[in-house]
């Protein structure tokens, strides 16, 4: 099976022992010199088994001097396009270079142009990132990887919306995955190295043909990717479950689902968990609805029907009924209070009513 290279990025001040623990299974440790503690690379080298990557964000008169000094002690040096002077290139050989570009909210054309220029300079890795404020903005880096099919180029979107692109990028050729060495980072969208391992199975990289995911806001905290991806691996299913951060469901639906964006990347989007706050708002997107969804006006599961259209279902109803049955509780002719009238509560109430219960819904407001 193919393998990825996990990179633990340290961009916060931290104790050395905590850094080494957080780096976990990473093969590289990136030290952001402008933001992290000033660690002795020789000390780290004796305790971290992988490669040490030095990066320095920002500009200033001392930048070139600091990069050259770091090149004497670190295995890899992160360079921006503006750093590629004859002196820097002479002092830092291609095998030690990671050339990076952060292009804000870049289009595919802008990423293509940047990649074409960067890859003219020999390097070990080329890293392109772009900010993705809204659903759909995160697609350009993945489209670039699909076109290039190079294992020395990685590209992904930052921010919460871009989280899933970090997970899918290695399946498009970019076999280097960057995670946080200081826990999940909500601002950058970087998952911790431990989450990359536990929830997505890295560094292993099985062949993937199907994409499943969850659409909602928030999604970063959810255990669903870990549960689903563990099951896929156990069953030998060539599938991947990813978190889609989608504050606006209609925008997500139009730009990610209806556009066929996932299919254009070479995968089949087969199903979605619909989570808060979209359990009601999502109903208009599905052509078909189960009877429990129609009654509760709530869905938490979309799957593709045989004709390719989307079917809205709810597992909340089965969830409450199975739980009661396992405990020997039969709701027929019993009085039941359901606390909370959100999407899950309404689906549970409908299921209990179908089972013969006298149901009362209790809520904080009218």
Distance CA(189)–CA(185), nearest Å, equals: 6
Q: Are strands 301-304 and 268-274 parallel, antiparallel or unpaired?
A: antiparallel
Residues annotated as part of the active site: 279
Residue whose structure tokens are 């990359």: 196
Q: How far is CA 233 from CA 198, 199, 206, 244, in A?
A: 12, 11, 9, 21
The answer to whether 6 and 203 have CB atoms below 8 angstroms apart is: yes
Q: What tokens does 294 get?
A: 């129609």
**Helix pair 193-200, 224-235: axis angle to 10 deg:** 50
Distance CA(235)–CA(170), nearest Å, equals: 21
User: What residues are paired with 240 via a beta bridge?
Assistant: 211
Alpha-helix residue ranges (DSSP H) falling in the chain: 16-23, 41-45, 63-71, 86-91, 108-118, 139-148, 163-168, 193-200, 224-235, 249-252, 261-264, 291-296, 316-326, 343-354
Distance CA(75)–CA(32), nearest Å, equals: 14
Which residues have C-beta within 8 Å of that of residue 355, sequence separation ≥ 6? 321, 330, 331, 332
Give the number of other Cβ atoms within 10 Å of residue 50's Cβ. Answer: 18
Distance CA(66)–CA(348), nearest Å, equals: 61
């Amino acid at each position: 099976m193919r393998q990825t290279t996990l990179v633990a990025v340290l961009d916060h001040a931290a104790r050395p022992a905590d850094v080494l623990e957080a780096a976990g299974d990473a093969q590289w440790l990136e030290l952001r010199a402008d933001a992290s503690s000033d660690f002795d690379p020789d000390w780290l080298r004796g305790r971290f088994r992988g490669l040490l990557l030095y990066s320095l964000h920002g500009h200033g008169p001392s930048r070139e001097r600091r990069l050259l000094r770091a090149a004497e002690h670190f295995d890899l040096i992160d360079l921006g396009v503006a750093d590629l002077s004859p002196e820097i290139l002479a002092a830092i050989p291609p095998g030690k270079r990671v050339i990076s570009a952060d292009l804000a909210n870049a289009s595919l054309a802008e990423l293509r142009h940047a990649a074409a220029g960067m890859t003219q300079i020999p390097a070990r890795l080329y890293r392109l990132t772009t900010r993705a404020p809204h659903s759909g903005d995160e697609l350009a880096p993945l489209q670039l990887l699909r076109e290039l099919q190079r294992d020395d180029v990685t590209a992904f979107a930052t921010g919460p919306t871009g989280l899933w692109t970090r997970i899918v990028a290695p399946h498009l050729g970019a076999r280097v995955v960057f995670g946080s060495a200081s826990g999940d980072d909500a601002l950058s969208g970087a998952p911790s190295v431990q989450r990359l391992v536990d929830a997505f199975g890295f560094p292993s990289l099985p062949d993937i043909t199907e994409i499943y995911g969850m659409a909602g806001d928030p999604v970063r905290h959810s255990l669903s990717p870990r549960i689903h991806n563990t099951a896929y691996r156990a069953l030998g299913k060539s599938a991947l479950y990813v978190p889609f951060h989608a504050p606006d469901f209609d925008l997500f639906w139009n730009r990610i689902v209806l556009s066929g964006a996932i299919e254009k990347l070479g995968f089949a989007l087969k199903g979605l968990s619909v989570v808060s706050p979209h359990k009601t708002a999502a109903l208009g997107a599905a052509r078909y609805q189960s009877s429990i969804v129609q009654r509760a006006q709530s869905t938490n599961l979309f799957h593709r029907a045989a004709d390719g259209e989307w079917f809205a279902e709810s597992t909340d109803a089965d969830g409450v009924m199975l739980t009661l049955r396992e405990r020997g509780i039969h709701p027929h002719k019993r009085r039941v209070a359901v606390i909370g009238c959100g999407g899950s509560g309404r689906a549970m109430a409908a299921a209990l009513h179908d089972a013969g219960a006298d149901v009362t819904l209790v809520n904080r407001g009218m």
